Structure 1
Amino acid sequence: MQTLKPTRIIIFAKAPVAGYAKTRLIPTLGADGAARLAQRMLTHTVDNALRAGLGPVELCAAPSAADPAWHELNLPPKLQWSGQGEGDLGARMARAASRGLDAGLPVLLIGTDCPALDSDVLRTAAQALTDHDAAITPTADGGYALLGLNRFHASLFDNMHWSVPTVATETLDRIGRIGWRVARLPEQHDIDEAQDLEWLPSGWYGSVHRVPATN
């Protein structure tokens, strides 16, 4: 296994609670099925982040890490925990990125919505940061599943319109305007809407017990 510079992986995640997580999939999977899928995606992401062997893995949790919803999940003790805090997604990501970079390590900011973001992809992103200022894994819906940073710049997060199909393009434009070198990694698929379920790993779909939408 190739040795890479230590890198902090920061995972943004909602507690996999029915009615709170993966709400856009509730009409297809039901609230409980959507929550089960969210839990499987969370566990998969944590396991791959730890398996990548890059350095500290931080779970940036919503609601706060002290919420009882997290206590039943038996996540690995090696995880470091933080809370996402207040503000829009940009404000929360900016705080986490700044905190991680201030600790002296490059950071990979990821969510739990992209099962293809496995340990090999994470290591590829970390490798890209050895000679780039940033790395990004775009998603087919126009967002991104990973943003890797060697340095902080608030413009990557401030006044960004999130959950629209221009997030990755706008982020790349902003990186270009500040003159950074960016590695664009292969596009992946987030699992957010019913039509995205075809991108689940084999065997996952049946395990969440699909519940048809009712009229």
Structure 2
Amino acid sequence: MEECARVAGGTLPLRAVRKAVTGTGFTGAKEACIHRVLDPSKANQIAPRRCALAIMTKAPRAGAVKTRLQPPLSSEEAAALNVCFLRDTASAICRAGEKARGVAVYTPPEARHEYDQILPGDFELLLQRGDGFGERLFLATEDLLRVGFQSCCLIDSDSPTVTAEAFCEAVDALQGEAERVVLGPTHDGGYYLIGMKRAFVQLFADIDWSTERVFDQTVARAGEIGLEVHTLPSFFDVDDRFALRRLCDELLGKGGESAPATTNFLCQIVDREGRDRIWPHEQG
């Protein structure tokens, strides 16, 4: 791995991280972009035969996101890392082919302009609806299909190493006539992606969210309603300090080509304060 750039000072402010990672991963991120907000009450807002690659995202505000990474990160650093995750995921989505279209399904309602300097200009926005997590996923699927997408994939905002090839495979799997669900498993028993051509409430109801049973329960539910399951390569999500260490192992130890914004941010912390704060050596 090339030596990380040195950054002086204390805790890195969110605005500094946003400045540091612009231009890494996709074009058009250096200047603010005004994104269209899709209206679920209106049909045919999207070109025909497109698949939505839709990131489920909560506005990256200090103290509101990635709280299980605090410590070792500060609340501002955790929010900044979330910005990097969004940028790297968006970058991979932008390389997933002409049949795909990037969308950020966001909350809260007043946060729409917070994505102007995070996402590329050809992304759309869609406001999240619903109360519980399963309901929000189901309604996002309904709304994406209602505005004109032929199919949609809901993607988490915790897995910055998912590749463009995995997203492209998901899009291709939803192009045929067969009714199927596409699932991208995570190593903790959940999934980083779920895709379909019709909204099936059964896939989201009565699931034990945030447990190791999510993927298996969803596969079983798909079987109960007669859906074929297409399984993507597995990746991992970063939602605690152990996963953060694994992320450092993968990006800083082996090279961070798959997530350049995230790699750059982690390098800044390691070079400024030493690796032990976020990436301690294995104990012998």
TM range (shorter): 0.7 to 0.9
Summarize the Cα distance change of 1:123–1:72 in structure 2 as closer, same or farther, 3 Å threshold.
Answer: closer
Mind listing any 5+ residue stretches in structure 1 that lack a counterpart? none
2:171 to 123, 126, 131: 126
1:101 is the counterpart of 2:162: no
Letter in 2 for 1:152: A
Summarize the Cα distance change of 1:74–1:173 in structure 2 as closer, same or farther, 3 Å threshold.
Answer: closer
Distance 2:160 2:149 in 1: 28
What do residues 129-152 of structure 1 show as CA deviations (whole Å, max 9, x unaligned)? 234511101101111000010222
1:47 to 91, 102, 122: 91
What do residues 45-90 of structure 1 show as CA deviations (whole Å, max 9, x unaligned)? 11221221333221111222x3277156353221111111331111
Q: How big is the alpha-carbon RMSD for the aligned residues of Structure 1 and Structure 2? A: 2.2
| Structure showing greater Rg | 2
Q: Is the 8 A contact 1:27 1:212 kept in 2?
A: no
What do residues 114-161 of structure 1 show as CA deviations (whole Å, max 9, x unaligned)? 122221110011122234511101101111000010222111111222
Aligned twin of 1:164 = 211
Aligned twin of 1:139 = 186
Aligned twin of 1:199 = 247
Larger CA deviation: 74-83 vs 177-186: 74-83
What do residues 8-43 of structure 1 show as CA deviations (whole Å, max 9, x unaligned)? 111101122111111110111121221111110011
Q: Is the 8 A contact 1:18 1:31 kept in 2?
A: yes
Secondary structure of 2:192's counterpart equals: strand
Q: What are the residue-to-residue correspondences of 1:67-82 with 2, within 5 Å? A: 67=111, 70=114, 73-82=117-126
Identity %: 29
1:91 is the counterpart of 2:156: no
Distance 1:176 1:139 in 2: 20
Q: Is the 8 A contact 1:90 1:157 kept in 2?
A: yes
Mind listing any 5+ residue stretches in structure 2 that lack a counterpart? 1-48, 253-262, 279-284
Summarize the Cα distance change of 1:99–1:63 in structure 2 as closer, same or farther, 3 Å threshold.
Answer: same
What do residues 149-208 of structure 1 show as CA deviations (whole Å, max 9, x unaligned)? 022211111122211110011000000100111111222111111111213552423335
Structure 2-normalised TM-score?
0.67
Distance 1:46 1:182 in 2: 25
Aligned twin of 2:222 = 175
Distance 1:125 1:111 in 2: 14
Distance 1:175 1:128 in 2: 16
Summarize the Cα distance change of 1:58–1:80 in structure 2 as closer, same or farther, 3 Å threshold.
Answer: same
Structure 1-normalised TM-score?
0.87
